[in-house]
Amino acid sequence: MSTIDTSTKAGAPGEPGWKRYKFANHFRNAEDEFDACKLGFWLFLATEVLLFSGLFCAYAMFRMKYPEAFAAGSHHLDVKYGGINTLVLLLSSFTVAMSIRCAQLNNQKWLRINLIITILCAFLFFFIKLAFEYIPKWSQGIRPGILYSNPFAGHPQEPTWWSVYYGATGIHALHVLIGAALLIWCLVRSFRSNQYGPTHYTMLENAGLYWHLVDVIWIFLFPLLYLIH
């Protein structure tokens, strides 16, 4: 009787996906594959931070040159919406951490519930940003750089502030949408074949890391844009 299991990922019907999963055969074991994936993902996150560091740098340099334009622009932002969005993202970070914990403990039901809450928070964040901030401001002519057409600028360099604002929050909002798409993909895989469990949850872990990074970026954007005058 041969004990060698040559089955592929689709084998062993009836078993949950995380039990069926076989690590790629160039790794020594599942642990090594997980570590390699995660290291690669951290390297990717480092490049993401460097992407945003360009925006933070632009913010810092323009603020050094035109602090009054930044104060005038920041005056138009409502701390209420920024604060609510901060809480929404913090909550979603907590629930995605909880869903990874549920994967580690093989609690499939709460894994999905936590993921669903996270995804809803992602869309709530985007909705608040769009409906209460982007659309009203854009329609008043408060737009970035050369598109600025509001005649009542508080400072001649106020359009520069709005370039930084739309650039930073726009790229962040794009990351929110990408993160939500990744988490939806995770949720679909979980529903279809219980893909995440104690011995294999690499994709959920990495999607979670991405989501936490989106949260960390917002933790810094919120005071920079809304609170510092």
Partner 1 sequence: MQAQPAQTFDPNDPHGFADLGEHHGHHITSTRMLVVVILTLVVLTALTVVTSSIETYLVKEMGWMLPEWVNIAVAMSIALVKGALVLLIFMALRYENPLYSIVFLFCMFAFALFLGLTGMDLDNRGHVYDWKVASQETGGTGVNMTHPPSTIHVLGETIEFHDLNSSGEKVGFGFTGSLAEELKKRYIAQTGITEAEYQRRWAEANHIHDHHDTLPSADRSLVRTGLSGALDATAHDDHDDHASHDTGGH
Under rule CB under 8 A, which residues in 63-122 are in contact with partner 1? 63-68, 70-72, 74-75, 79, 83, 86-87, 90-91, 93-94, 96-98, 101, 104-105
Binding partner 1 by CB under 8 A: which of 18, 20, 23, 194?
23
CB of 177 to partner 1, least distance (A): 20
4 three-class SS = coil
Both tokens of 157, joined, read 């360099």
Distance CA 31, CA 60 (A): 42
By CB under 8 A, is residue 193 in contact with partner 1?
no
Within 8 A by CB and 6+ apart from 73, the residues are: 154, 155, 158, 161, 162, 165
Binding partner 1 by CB under 8 A: which of 42, 123, 127, 191?
42
CB of 194 to partner 1, least distance (A): 18
Binding partner 1 by CB under 8 A: which of 12, 24, 46, 181?
46
- Check residue 7 and give left, alpha or beta (phi > 0: left; psi -120 to 50: alpha): beta
**Residue whose token pair is 């999905």:** 112
CB atoms under 10 Å from CB of 93, counted, come to 21
Residues 133-152 that bind partner 1 (CB under 8 A): 145-146, 148-152
Q: Which is nearer to partner 1, 46 or 131 (CB)?
A: 46
CB of 171 to partner 1, least distance (A): 16
Q: How distant, in Å, are the alpha carbons of 10, 118, 155, 180, 219 from that of 64?
A: 58, 37, 15, 35, 21
By CB under 8 A, is residue 159 in contact with partner 1?
yes
CB of 170 to partner 1, least distance (A): 20
By CB under 8 A, is residue 171 in contact with partner 1?
no
CB of 187 to partner 1, least distance (A): 19
The answer to whether 173 touches 129, Cβ cutoff 8 Å, is yes
Angle at the Cα of 211 from the Cα atoms of 94 and 54, rounded to 5 degrees: 130
Residues 47-66 that bind partner 1 (CB under 8 A): 49-50, 53-54, 56-57, 60-61, 63-66
Q: Which is nearer to partner 1, 86 or 169 (CB)?
A: 86
**DSSP single-letter state for residue 228:** -
